[in-house]
């Protein structure tokens, strides 16, 4: 579980992950520009104590006081659970951290919101993430184009895990 004191470390890893995964997908001017400041603001807001404990959940993968990855889930008004972030330090990808974070995320979702599907959205050009989600049993449920706040549009794929899929992956 993260605290407001973790916001800077999470924002730094979030930025590092985006810069690695989205190079050539998102404009370099955005990735090299205000991204870190935007991520800091996002995580400072998300980690405020006013956020209800059962509506969102942050998982941290740490070792020797270093942040290696994180996952963040948000219960949605449509009764689904959004896995809004799943990031692993780029140098540690394929080490099992992402799979473990996903398992813990699904364990939380099943315990706090039994029977509810979990979904996530991934950029269509992020082929390594797509391969990972497909290996984890996610099913494509929607494709759309998203307009991001900086003003550019990117194609997105939504992957969903039914309650059975969530149960199959939980730790």
pLDDT in tens, 62-92: 998 899 999 999 999 999 999 999 999 999 8
In angstroms, rounded to a whole number, what is the distance separating the alpha carbons of residues 167 and 110?
A: 7
Q: Which residue has the higher pLDDT, 161 or 95?
A: 161
Question: Domain of 47?
Answer: 4-169
Question: How many domains, in total, are found in the chain?
Answer: 1
Contact partners, residue 24, CB within 8 Å, separation at least 6: 125
How far, CA to CA in Å, does 149 sit from each of 3, 34, 103, 138, 154? Answer: 26, 12, 31, 27, 11
- Residue 86 main-chain phi, psi, to 5 deg: -145, 105
pLDDT one-digit tens code per residue, 96-106: 999 999 999 99
CATH number where 91 lies: 3.40.630.30
């Amino acid at each position: 579980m993260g605290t407001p004191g973790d916001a800077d470390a999470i924002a730094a890893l979030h930025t590092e992950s985006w810069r690695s995964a989205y190079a050539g997908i998102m404009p370099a001017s955005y990735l090299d520009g205000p991204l870190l400041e935007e991520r800091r603001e996002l995580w400072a807001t998300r980690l405020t104590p006013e956020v209800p404990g059962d509506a969102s959940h942050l998982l941290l993968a740490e070792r020797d006081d270093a942040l290696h990855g994180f996952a963040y889930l948000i219960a949605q008004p449509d009764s689904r659970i959004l896995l809004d972030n799943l990031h692993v330090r780029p140098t540690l990808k394929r080490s099992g951290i992402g799979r473990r974070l996903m398992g813990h995320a699904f364990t939380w979702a099943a315990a706090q919101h039994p029977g509810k599907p979990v979904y996530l959205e991934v950029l269509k050009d992020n082929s390594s993430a797509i391969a990972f989600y497909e290996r984890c049993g996610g099913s494509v449920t929607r494709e759309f184009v998203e307009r991001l706040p900086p003003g550019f549009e990117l194609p997105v794929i939504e992957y969903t895990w039914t309650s059975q899929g969530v149960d199959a992956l939980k730790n």
